[in-house]
A = this chain, B = another copy of it.
Amino acid sequence: MLWGIGTIEGRVKDLYNLIKDPENAILSVLKDKKDVVIGISGFGSAGYPKLIPDVIAELADKGRIAPKITLLTGASAYQVDQVLGERGLIVRRYPYQFSPTMRRLINSGKVEFHDIHLGEWPQYVRSGFLSSVVGSLDLAIVEAVKVDSEGIVPSMSVGTIDAFVSEASKVIIEVNPDIPEELAGIHDIYIPGIPPNREPIPIRNVNDRIGESRLRIRRDKIAAIVESHGHDRGGDVGEPGPVERRIADNLLSFLQNEMEAGRIPREMLPIESGVGVVQDAVMSAIAEAGISGLKAWTEVAQDSFYKMVAEGEMEYISATSLMLSPSGREFFFNSIGEFREVTVLRPQSVTNDWEVIRRLGVIAMNTAVEVDLYGFVNSTHVMGTDIINGIGGSGDFARASYLSIFITPSTRKGGRISCVVPMVSHVDHVDHDVDVVVTEYGVCDLRGKSPRERALEIIENCAHPDYRDGLLSYFEKAVRETGGHMPTLYDLALSWHKTYREKGDMREAIS
């Protein structure tokens, strides 16, 4: 057990008498409860509670509680999904996940999962849109740097904690003294109202602060404060290989061309970068090309951003989560005073808000699992059936952005899967929300083009050479046989996926 009383005294101040041991804290809320709805902090595997979920698991192991949990998070909370999921304690899950265990449970039908736009999720919770299915929120568990009667200073993410704290009957706060107190001041808590009481979100620049540095909480809601320890896991996205670097180069050339044509202003627009090695490579390529004044308006700040800040290549970062690797965290904490001045962590109801994304003119870069001839994108489901993580913020950014770019390698699994297919097996982003597709072979700019024009361009510019003839042959046959605005062969549209499932190689479908 990692908890103790005393270490966090200076971080709790006038709420000192609310400190409890974690078992009592949990039992005070969950004892004899069967169906429970729990909302936890955590976004991009950053800022999740490190202690209480483990103790819930222990108490369940001992037979002292037997909850059926509906688990709500900001986005992913890897460790919590693992520890509670492995024990079969979770029956429902919203709005996103990123854990092998949870993925298996969802895909086998054992956990009911509803994948929801992350920008819409906090309002979804606060408007009671889940209430007819799961009832009301019993408990919120929030990791904090400190807390007192002025409010909670969140830890490495904000996510949806504002909505969970507002809606939950009780709140347990984990104060984690391993996180430097100097993080305080990085957060900007502004809570958009619920219609008809919603005002314009007054952000005009990436670095505007519009809220408070703490999340207010009613003292009578706090069931307990506990001391927790440890750091977030994850955050290591790896090094880019040659394919990632070619994708980055292609994307960079495209952006430079857009700037020359005046379609992206000289001062550059803020960038949203999904999490991953390709995005890292892209950000590096942009910085190395000498495009100055870079700002990130995104969900998750990664290691690479702070390298760019240190090298003068990145001006400002607005995110809802600081997802850092162990070395990235050390780098960040070592200069926390400096980095805090160029970072703001906001609720995801602000970072992912369509109003603000649209106003700022964000350039959105997200990853596709597969794209099709007409520009539809699957970003969540392998072979159309099995969910990987969830739509996350990609739908918020793709639709509301100034320019929506999807990147993908042309193939996966050593060439056995083509990422350009006749028809995507699952649609997350309709063609209306996809401006540009980039692979290591090149760029397809869909803007202003008819579906038939896009098909020819995406085959020529983006598909892997092994699959180009197959795609062209499908397309030409579809034009002949069904015609129409989007020619489609009902028998063959999903045949590549069927072949992969049966034979393990899409190339078998076109031989």
Interface residues of A (CB under 8 A from B): 92, 94, 106-109, 112-117, 120, 124, 127-134, 194-196, 198-202, 204, 261-263, 265, 267, 269, 353-355, 358-361, 376, 381, 383-387, 391, 395, 399-400, 402, 425-433, 435, 445, 447-450, 452-453, 479, 482-488, 490-491, 493-495, 497-498, 501
Nearest-CB distance from A99 to chain B (Å)? 14
Q: Quick check: A360 and B195 within 8 Å, CB to CB?
A: yes
User: Are B385 and A482 in touch, CB under 8 angstroms?
Assistant: yes
Copies in the complex: 2
- Report whether B128 and A450 are in contact in the complex, using a CB–CB cutoff of 8 Å: no
Chain B residue at minimum C-beta to C-beta distance from A381: B486
Task: Kindly identify which residue among B112, B493, B495 contacts A450, using a CB–CB cutoff of 8 Å.
Answer: B112
Establish whether residues A263 and B127, one from each chain, have CB atoms under 8 Å apart when the complex forms.
yes
- Closest CB-CB distance, A309 to chain B, in whole Å? 21
Q: A432-B116, A484-B381 are in contact. Are A479 and B129 (CB under 8 A)?
A: no
Q: Determine the residue in chain B with the shortest Cβ distance to A128.
A: B263
Query: In the assembly, what is the distance between CA of A194 and CA of B267, in Å?
Result: 13
Nearest to A479 among chain B residues (CB) is B109
Contact of A484 among B385, B445, B484 (CB under 8 A): B385
Question: Which among A116, A262, A355 has the greatest number of chain B C-beta atoms within 10 A?
Answer: A355
CB–CB A486/B359 < 8 A: no
> Is the Cβ of A483 less than 8 Å from the Cβ of B199?
no
Closest to A359 in B: B198
CB–CB A128/B261 < 8 A: yes
Give which listed residue, B199, B426, B453, contacts A359 with CB less than 8 A.
Answer: B199
B128 touches A265 (CB 8 A): no
**Residues A199 and B195 in contact in the complex (CB < 8 Å), given A114-B449, A484-B386, A494-B494:** no
Is there contact, CB below 8 Å, between A488 and B425?
yes
How far, in angstroms, from A400 to B132 measured CA to CA in the complex?
22
Is A107 within 8 A of B432, CB to CB? no
B contact residues around A115 at 8 Å (CB): 431-432
Closest to A202 in B: B200
Nearest opposing residue in chain B for A257, CB measure: B132
**A400 to B450, Cβ gap below 8 A?**
no
CB pair A484 B432 closer than 8 Å? no
B261 and A132 contacting across the interface, CB-CB below 8 Å = yes
Expressed in whole angstroms, the Cα–Cα distance for A493 and B92 within the complex equals 27
Q: Which of A129, A395, A452 has the most CB of B within 10 A?
A: A129
CB distance from A25 to the nearest CB of B (A): 28
CB pair B448–A129 under 8 Å, yes or no, is yes
CB atoms of A485 and B386 under 8 A apart: yes
Q: A482–B124 Cα gap in the complex (Å)?
A: 31
- Which residues from B are CB-within-8-Å of A491? 491, 494, 498
Question: Which of B94, B112, B448 contacts A453 (CB under 8 A)?
Answer: B112
Min distance, Cβ A499 to any Cβ of chain B, angstroms: 9
Q: Which of B360, B383, B482 contacts A501 (CB 8 A)?
A: B482
Q: Are A452 and B202 in contact (CB under 8 A)?
A: no
Residues of B near A92 (CB, < 8 A) are 450
A387 contacts across to B, CB distance below 8 A = 484-486
User: How far in angstroms is the closest Cβ of chain B from A362?
Assistant: 8
List the B side residues contacting A482 at CB < 8 Å: 383, 385, 501
CB pair A430 B427 closer than 8 Å: yes
Check B107–A484 contact: CB distance below 8 A. Answer: yes
